[in-house]
């Protein structure tokens, strides 16, 4: 055993939900006395938290696993790709452990066994907040695990199981601990936020001497009193979401929704087994904006789904023109092993998929630019993500995000002459211009007292 026997290299792949799983595993490893280091640093054991949602994600996971094996490391695999343990072990018999998503204890136990450490020393006192892999000023807050939907293109339920909502009190306690640990922004995540509490039959919990149901609306009302910024991701366009929009108008939630609509053709939506028709989604979006005109909406779509025709793509483009969404991600259909849609007729040629994706992005670029146009000249409150001190003869620069932009996936605000700003600060800026994705602003003043 080398002198790196207390070190564990950790690689986290995939979505924010997987990132939260990684944070819990890293926390337990640290509390067990291990040093957790980056992939490229010396360590005898490498833990890889994998993603298996689409083929590209699988390929990335395979590449990381193979790199660790070639480096003669002991490899522990967890996460979505590990849900089919036998397939992974057949492909890589060198693996020392394979487990599915959110399996914290088995991963830590396997590391203990591999490094021959029956940890006997007293562990540190329980942490108030988990060890985060995000910057200190924002944190993902996962409110449920799994999914009850049966979308034909998706294998998430087979990997992560059915919906399992966290108890309301647990979510609130974690929110308090994350804010106490420095988080200014909480990003709520789940496979479907709007289904929160269904599996618990919306059971009531005592909060501040009153009974509160385990539902998304009361949860958001309470979280709005805990964190300065609360942002919602992965919301299905159900009627119960309508009740959240007034909270955005009132400032208790950020005016931002991430709604994975996937398509607009009724025929394709039916084949996808999606729960909402395009015309209903469009009417709902229009109603939301009547209540909260500043609402920013992000969505994702799939092109090249089996049986998709040029007419279906036309319906999607018409929908985008009318919906005027702020941000759009468009993916080509990936025939993920185990997805029911793979059995459908009408496979679309890969070149046609890419052409259709380009059509979506070309149209949406103009729409997104128009949505950014409305912000030019406005004063916005932003949260600083990065700050660069002034170079000789230059000025300090900063990158931040407005309430309309989530980390990693949306645009940023470039701030010139940003003296005195640090990551985690709130600041007021005036928007002067924009490019295809980002805003450029001048600093009006620091707002350090908020939060």
The tokens describing 329, both together, are 């991600």
Which residues lie across from 139 on neighbouring strands?
186
Query: Could you tell me which CATH class the domain 7-114 is placed in?
Result: alpha beta
Cα gap 96→273, rounded to integer Å: 38
Query: Could you tell me which CATH class the domain 379-446 is placed in?
Result: mainly beta
pLDDT-wise least confident of 308-317, 318-327, 335-344? 335-344
Cα gap 322→318, rounded to integer Å: 6
Tell me what pLDDT residue 160 has.
84
Tell whether the model's pLDDT for residue 122 goes beyond 50: no
- pLDDT (tens digit, 9 = 90+) per residue, 226-269? 999 999 999 988 888 999 999 999 999 999 999 999 999 999 99
DSSP per-residue letters across 149-202:
---TT--HHHHH-S-EEPPHHHHHHHHHHHHHTT-SEEEEE-S-GGGTTTTTTT
Tell whether the model's pLDDT for residue 76 goes beyond 90: yes
CB 29 within 8 A of CB 78: no
The tokens describing 40, both together, are 């490229």
Tell whether the model's pLDDT for residue 149 goes beyond 80: yes
- pLDDT (tens digit, 9 = 90+) per residue, 376-427? 999 999 999 999 988 887 888 999 999 999 999 999 999 998 888 999 999 9
- pLDDT (tens digit, 9 = 90+) per residue, 328-345? 999 999 888 888 999 999
The tokens describing 399, both together, are 């990158």
Cα gap 125→135, rounded to integer Å: 23
Percent over 70 (pLDDT), the chain: 94
Cα gap 92→163, rounded to integer Å: 31
Place 127 in a pLDDT band, splitting at 50, 70 and 90: low
Q: What are phi and psi of 229, to 5 degrees?
A: -125, 130
The tokens describing 181, both together, are 């640990």
The mean per-residue pLDDT over the stretch 104-123 comes to 76
Cα gap 17→188, rounded to integer Å: 10
Tell whether the model's pLDDT for residue 18 goes beyond 60: yes
Question: What is the domain partition of the chain in residue ranges?
Answer: 7-114, 138-373, 379-446
Q: Are strands 138-142 and 144-145 parallel, antiparallel or unpaired?
A: unpaired
The mean per-residue pLDDT over the stretch 134-156 comes to 91
Q: What are phi and psi of 412, to 5 degrees?
A: -130, 170
The mean per-residue pLDDT over the stretch 276-297 comes to 88
Instruction: Give the torsion through C-alpha atoms of 436, 439, 440, 445, to 10 deg.
Output: 180
CB atoms within 10 A of CB 422: 14
Q: What homologous superfamily does CATH list for 138-373? A: tm_1862 like domain (3.80.30.20)
Q: What are phi and psi of 270, to 5 degrees?
A: -65, -45
Place 159 in a pLDDT band, splitting at 50, 70 and 90: confident
Tell whether the model's pLDDT for residue 125 goes beyond 50: no
CB atoms within 10 A of CB 222: 18
DSSP per-residue letters across 321-362:
HHH--SEEEEEE----TT-GGGGSS-PPPHHHHHHHHHHHHH
pLDDT-wise least confident of 12-16, 214-218, 274-278? 274-278
- pLDDT (tens digit, 9 = 90+) per residue, 365-374? 999 999 999 9
Tell me what pLDDT residue 450 has.
39
């Amino acid at each position: 055993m080398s002198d790196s026997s207390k070190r564990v290299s950790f690689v986290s792949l995939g979505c924010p939900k997987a990132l939260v799983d990684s944070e819990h595993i890293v926390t337990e490893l640290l509390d067990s006395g291990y040093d957790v280091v980056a992939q490229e640093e010396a360590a005898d054991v490498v833990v890889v938290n994998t993603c298996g949602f689409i083929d590209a994600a699988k390929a990335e996971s395979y590449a990381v696993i193979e790199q660790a094996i070639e480096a003669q490391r002991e490899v522990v695999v967890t996460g979505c790709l590990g849900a089919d343990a036998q397939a992974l072990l057949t492909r890589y018999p060198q693996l020392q452990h394979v487990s599915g998503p959110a399996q914290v204890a088995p991963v830590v136990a396997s590391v203990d066994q591999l490094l021959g450490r029956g940890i006997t020393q007293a562990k540190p006192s329980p942490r108030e907040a988990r060890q985060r892999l995000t910057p200190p000023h924002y944190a993902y807050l996962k409110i449920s695990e799994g999914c009850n939907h049966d979308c034909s293109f998706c294998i998430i339920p087979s990997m992560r199981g059915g919906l399992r909502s966290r108890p309301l009190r647990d979510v609130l306690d974690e929110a308090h601990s994350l804010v106490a640990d420095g988080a200014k922004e909480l990003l709520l995540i789940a496979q479907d936020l709007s289904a929160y509490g269904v599996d618990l039959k919306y059971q009531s919990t005592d909060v501040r001497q009153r009974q509160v149901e385990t539902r998304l609306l009361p949860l958001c009302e309470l979280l709005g009193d805990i964190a300065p910024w609360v942002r919602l991701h992965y919301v299905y366009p159900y009627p119960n979401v309508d009740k959240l929009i007034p909270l955005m108008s009132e400032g208790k939630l950020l005016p931002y929704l991430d709604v994975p609509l996937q398509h607009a053709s009724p025929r394709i939506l039916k084949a996808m087994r999606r729960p909402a028709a395009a015309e209903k989604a469009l009417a709902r979006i229009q109603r939301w904006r009547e209540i909260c005109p500043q609402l920013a909406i992000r969505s994702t779509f799939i092109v090249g789904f089996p049986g998709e025709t040029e007419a279906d793509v036309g319906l999607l483009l018409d929908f985008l023109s009318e919906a005027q969404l702020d941000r759009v991600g468009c993916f080509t259909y990936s025939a993920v092993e185990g997805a029911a849609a793979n059995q459908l007729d009408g496979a679309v040629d890969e070149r046609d998929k890419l052409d259709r994706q380009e059509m979506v992005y070309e149209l949406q670029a103009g729409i997104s630019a128009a949505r950014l146009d409305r912000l030019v000249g406005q004063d916005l409150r932003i949260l600083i993500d990065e700050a660069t001190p002034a170079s000789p003869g230059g000025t300090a620069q900063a990158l931040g995000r407005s309430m309309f932009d989530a980390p990693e996936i949306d645009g940023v605000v470039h701030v010139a002459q940003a003296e005195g700003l640090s990551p985690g600060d709130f600041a007021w800026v005036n928007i002067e211009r924009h490019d295809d994705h980002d805003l450029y602003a001048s600093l009006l003043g620091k707002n350090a007292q908020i939060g």
